Structures are given as C-alpha cells and as structure tokens.
Amino acid sequence: MKKLGIIAIAFAMLLGMSQCKKENTSASNDEVVKVPITLNVSGNSGSRVAVTPETGVVTFENGDVIHVVSNGVYVGTMTYNGTVFSGEITEPTEGQKLQFYFLGNKTPEFNADNTECSVVISDQTEYLPVISYAPSRENYQIGKTDYNATLLNKCALVKFDVTTASEAATCIVGMNNKVTVNLATNEFAYDMDGEGIITLAAGNGEKWGILLPQEEVNHTNSFSNDGLYTGSCATIPTIEENDYLTNGIVVAIGLPSGAIDGLFTINDNGDQVYFSKGNLQYTISTQTWSFMEHQYDLVESFGQNVGTDYSNQDVISLFGWGTSGYNHGATAYQPWSTNNTINNYYAYGQSSYNLYDQNGMADWGYNAIINGGNQENSGWRTLMGSEWYCLFNTRNTTSGIRWVMGRVNGMKGVILLPDNWIATTYALNDINGGNYNSNTIAIEDWINVLEANGVVFFPAAGLRIGSLVYDYDGGYWASSVTGSNTCCMFFSDGRLNAWGGEQRSHGQSVRLVRDVQ
C-alpha cells in the first residue's frame, strides 16, 4: 500500500484534532453522549476531490464529509468548512484509534447494526468520488485534542481517451463501482452494482475516472448515456489501491445502438448507412417497437392466419406500407392493420406520397425502438428504392462482392456484404447471385466470422395478404412509391429484384437503417 504524497494520486495530510471534550460525565449508560470534534487539515484546499490530473493531488472543498468510527462503532461525521472538518459525534471509546473514512461525498448505506456500510461511485460526471481511509496515529484519550493521520486512497485515478458520436456522457460497463466497508475490521471489499457502470463526463478527448481495485478487464462494452450509441473500451489493466494510470485507455462510442457494425454505400455520392441488427417488430400488448434479437429470426409462420387486425397474434413483423402507428390520414396506419384495400394505405391522402415527405412520421423509423436507442426521431429510417438498387447492383466494394444467396442457421435468405468486406475472410459461392443452396452457413461461423465483420442477412420471412401469410420468400419495403404500388426489395430462390414494386396493403418485412454521420 502506497502512502498519499508518494504516488501522484495521493494526498497527504496531517489531521489535527482539537476542542474534543466530554459534555456530560453524569449521563446514564443508556444516554448517548455527544462531543464536539474539529479536524484541522494541513496543506489541502481547492476544488472538491476533482483530482488534478497533472499531479494526481486530491483536495477538499466546503461541504466535503469525513465519516468517523471508533472501536467498530459508527460515531458520526465531520464537514469541511474551507479550513477544518468539524462536527458533533458520539463519544469515542477511550484507548482506541479513531478511524477516518472519506467516501467520495456519497451517502453510504448502512446495515442494520451499523457495522458495515457501502457506497456506489457510478456517476463521475461532475467530480471524481475519491475513496480513502486512515486511522489516527494515536489512541483516543479524553481531554486529548491533537491527533494525526495520513489518508490512503482505496481507489485509482485512471485516464481514458474517449471518442464519441454523442454529446451525452460516456458509460463503461463491467467495472467495480461499489465499495463495502467493514467498520469493525476496517476492511474494504469491491464489487459491481448492477452491470458495473461508471459514467464519465460528456464529450470527446481526455477523461479521468476513479476506479476501484479489480482484476484486468478485457475489452468491455461502452455506450452513451442517452442510449443512442454503443462502443467498446480497450483492455483495462489490473487496478490496485492508490494507482495513478496516465496512459489513456481507448474508449470508442460511435455505433448507433441496435446497429450492425458494417458500412454500406447507398448512392453515387458515397453516402453510407448502418443496418439494424434485426428486422423490425411490434408488440401489441406492450405497444413497443423493437429489433429482432437475431438477423435470422422470424415472427409469423407460413400458412398462418393472423386474424383480422392481428387478433390471433401479439407480435407483428409483416407490415402494410406506412403503418408506423402515426395517424397520417390513411384509413390503415396502425402496425396491426390487415385491411386489403390499396387506397386505405395512402399516407396523407396521397397515392404518390413518399415516407420522407412532410414530417416523415409515416416511416416506421421515427418511433422509439426499445433496443435501438429508445427515442423518437433518433435517426432510424427506411431505404428508398434507389438506395436498395445501389446496395445490390452498383456500389463499389473492396472485394467486388455485394451479395449472395444462402442459408444462415438453416434459414433461407439473402446475405449482404459490407463495403470493406475482404473476400478471404470467408469463402462464398456464386457471388452477386446464386440460390438458397449456394451458401450454407453454420451458426458459429455466422456469429464469429460474418456478422462479426458487419455482414447483413435478410431472412425470407414471407408475404401477408390480408390475414394469411404466404411462403413468398422475402420482401422488404422501401420508402418510395410507384403509383398505386410502393417500392421494395424482394427475392425468391435464385432471383432478386432490388427496385421492385408491391401492393401497399400487403404485409412485408421492414429493415431500418441509420445514416453514417
């Protein structure tokens, strides 16, 4: 254990105790006796435990609190007034050392008999919640006013190098963020509260955090506090008490929440998008939108009768065109609509309406998607017909491969390769074409090789006409229209049309994208 002042994060101080006296020597054994206590702090002033990164020096500010324990019993607190810590505590046990705890100005939770307390130091957006401890050098004696102690940090100051697409705070998962103190033995235990999240100040660049001791953590997850972006944090080395780590740990947050980490060009201007991690679905009972857990998942089954307005099923994934749930003037606008009359799906009363016209709320992507950031208008949208066409027919890719047909985990469909796909990553047959038997991909290869490298899969989820689901292979809506029909990408075994048309009352799949900023 290193003393403060020797290590840069450390702060060394002599705590001088004065004006400590007995108030009532005739009190009964059952009466709590209070004594005033003042703690002089030498050489410490400045901002509240916002550790100076360049030096690691920890300082105090008005309102900072030290907790005091005597002989395993919690006796009270002292508060800093700019010069000294002072307060009224229960009279300590004579002949025993006083124990001083600085708990990052967090309010501790005590167990039933006050022999143990814990604090969680997740939020580090305003100041760094330093955890430190010291026993007095001398035993407590009635009438003695001068005591000394040297605080030792029970945490570490760690630098992070943050790159983020969000203006919200940065959250890192998998950290020990809870410290539990045994007041009888003065032992500290460290573990995770919940997912073990620590939250750093918003913005890009150099960020400092206080970490509790833990073993090495390899490439943990990170995300923005607004829930819109996800990312990763590089390996965090073993953390020990009183550490001061100045080599920045890389944190990168730029992938939209719910997106696959692959880039796809959608036009001649070179604009790119991310695809959602699964087809869109709506749950009637909870009135929530979400992405399917896996890219190969299906909801409806071939030959199924879902009932009028999906009365026989709670979850929906085959939608009529423009059925976002927003009342845009059409008769059929709810996601569960099974009406089979084309003109009942004219958004805003226009047969030629584009989902992007007016406020765009006929596009499913405006909704809050619970595993896609869970905010309305967060950037998800439906591709236009011309963008589907570019993806499958005209975009340039590193490998020359845009798509193939095949089966993933036994499910038939179309496999779309990202712009930077390297052909040697995985051997694929019948590039830019083929049929369902051209490429049979086991689930292990899909997860560890293809999906891990940004590959998108469109399962052949079928077509719903009215309340009946047909094995029509795959159809995916576009936001644009062609007269009474709307554009879509559709495929069958050995055939794909990237800019086709479909009757807007029919139920098809929806796969959302987000533009790369």
Q: Give 35-85 pLDDT, tens digit per residue.
A: 666 555 544 433 334 467 667 777 788 889 999 999 999 999 989 888 777
Using the 8-state DSSP alphabet, how is residue 366 labeled? G
Please report the pLDDT score of residue 472 as a whole number. 86
Strand partners, 231: 222, 253
Share of the chain above pLDDT 70, in %: 88
Average pLDDT value over all residues in the chain = 88
Q: Find tokens 């009365």 and name the residue.
A: 311
Please report the pLDDT score of residue 406 as a whole number. 98
What distance in Å separates the CA atoms of residue 456 and residue 444, rounded to the nearest whole number? Answer: 15
Among 258, 254, 255, residue whose Cα is nearest residue 165:
254
What sign has the CA pseudo-torsion 42, 45, 48, 49?
negative
Inform me whether the pLDDT recorded for 11 exceeds 80. no
Using the 8-state DSSP alphabet, how is residue 94 labeled? T
The amino acid occupying position 79 is: T
Please report the pLDDT score of residue 86 as a whole number. 84
Helix (H, G, I), strand (E, B) or coil at 172: strand
Q: Give 165-218 pLDDT, tens digit per residue.
A: 999 999 999 999 999 999 999 999 999 999 999 999 999 999 999 999 999 999
What distance in Å separates the CA atoms of residue 209 and residue 199, rounded to the nearest whole number? Answer: 9
Inform me whether the pLDDT recorded for 516 exceeds 50. yes
Inform me whether the pLDDT recorded for 485 exceeds 80. no
Token readout for 419 is 């712009």
Please report the pLDDT score of residue 389 as a whole number. 97
Please report the pLDDT score of residue 348 as a whole number. 85
Share of the chain above pLDDT 90, in %: 73
* Mean pLDDT calculated for residue range 107-127: 94
Inform me whether the pLDDT recorded for 511 exceeds 80. yes
Inform me whether the pLDDT recorded for 8 exceeds 60. no
What distance in Å separates the CA atoms of residue 304 and residue 295, rounded to the nearest whole number? Answer: 21
Please report the pLDDT score of residue 17 as a whole number. 26
* Mean pLDDT calculated for residue range 147-151: 76
Q: Give 335-369 pLDDT, tens digit per residue.
A: 999 999 999 999 888 877 777 666 678 999 999 99
Helix (H, G, I), strand (E, B) or coil at 386: helix
* Mean pLDDT calculated for residue range 251-262: 96
* Mean pLDDT calculated for residue range 470-494: 89
Inform me whether the pLDDT recorded for 16 exceeds 60. no
What distance in Å separates the CA atoms of residue 75 and residue 72, rounded to the nearest whole number? Answer: 9
